[in-house]
Amino acid sequence: MTSTWLITGTSSGFGRLLTEKLLARGDRVAATLRRTAALDDLHARYPDRVWRAAFDMTDTPALRHSVDDAFAALGRIDTVVSNAGYGLFGAAEELTDDQIRHQIDTNLIGSIQLIRAVVPHLRRQGGGRVLQISSEGGQIAYPGFSLYHATKWGIEGFVETIRQEVAPFGITFTLVEPGPARTSFATGLVSTEPSDLYQDTPVGDLRRAWANGSFAVKGDADRMAAAMIAVAAENPAPRRLTLGAGAYASIRTALEGRLAELEQRRDISRSVDNDA
C-alpha cells in the first residue's frame, strides 16, 4: 500500500537515504530542504511522487507555509520525519553566541515548530506518525558537544510531552536514536576555534580523534534508514528506536548508571516530603 511521507533535511544523510528508499518502493515524499536543486535527479526520476519545498529550519513562517502547502497538495500525509539538523563541536566556553543560537534555532526550535505545524493537519485527518530523529546523544553526552546534546535532550523532552497530549487524536511518536553512522554528519559538523586551554582535556582528545580518524563510526546508514522505515509501520508505535550496537551499549550503561545513582539517594529523596 502506498504511503505519503513528509521529510525534512532531504539533501543528504538520513533524509536523502529515506527519500530514495521510499520512492523506490512506490511511496510519495514531500521533501523539504534548503535548495530544491539537490533533489533534481529524484524529481526527474519520480516526477509524480516527489513534492519539494525550500526553507531553512530557522524560518518558522516559511516552515509553516510549506507544511500547509504540502498537506494541501498531497492530501493525507501518513508519516512525518523530523530529520533536519547538524552538529556543533567545541568546549562550551569556546562557542560563540551566534553558534549557540543557530544550533538551538535549527535543531531544537526548528524541530518543535515542525511538529507544531503538522499536528493540526494530522489531527484533522484522524491521526498519523511522527519520527523525530534524535541521537544516542539524546541519552548520553560526549565532551565538546554540549549544545548539540542540549538540543537532542531538549527535543526528547518535548516529544515525551506532546505524544501524551495528542495520543487521543491518533497521533503517535517515535524518537529515533542513531549512533555514529557513515553519513554527511561529519562533513557538516561546525567546529569552534580551538583554545589551547582545552588541548589536554577530553575535548582535545575527541577533537584529535575526529581529525585522525580514530573515532569509531560503525553504523551502516543504509541499514539504519531501512530500520526507520520499518518502525513507522509498527503498531503500537515504540517510544524509542536505538540504532547501532555502540549506541545500545552506551545508552544502556548511562541508564543503568542513572538508576543506580537514583537508588543510592532513595532515602534522601523520600525524607523531604511533608509528613502530613
* Known catalytic residue at 86: no
Catalytic residue among 11, 66, 111, 152: 152
148 catalytically annotated: yes
The SS3 assignment for 18 reads helix
Closest CA relative to residue 203, chosen from 131, 263, 142: 142
| Terminal C-alpha separation, the chain | 59
**Tens-level pLDDT at each residue, the chain (276 residues):** 789 999 999 999 999 999 999 999 999 999 999 999 999 999 999 999 999 999 999 999 999 999 999 999 999 999 999 999 999 999 999 999 999 999 999 999 999 999 999 999 999 999 999 999 999 999 999 999 999 999 999 999 999 999 999 999 999 999 999 998 776 666 778 988 888 999 999 999 898 887 887 777 788 999 999 999 999 999 999 999 999 999 999 999 999 999 999 999 999 999 999 887
* Residue tagged active-site, from 111, 134, 146, 250: 134
Q: Which residue segments constitute the domains of the chain, with CATH numbers given?
A: 4-246 (3.40.50.720)
Can you give the pTM of this predicted structure? 0.94
Catalytic residue among 46, 86, 148, 198: 148
134 annotated active-site: yes
Residue 170's region, left for phi above 0, alpha for psi from -120 to 50, else beta, is left
Q: Is the dihedral of CA 255, 261, 263, 268 positive or negative?
A: negative
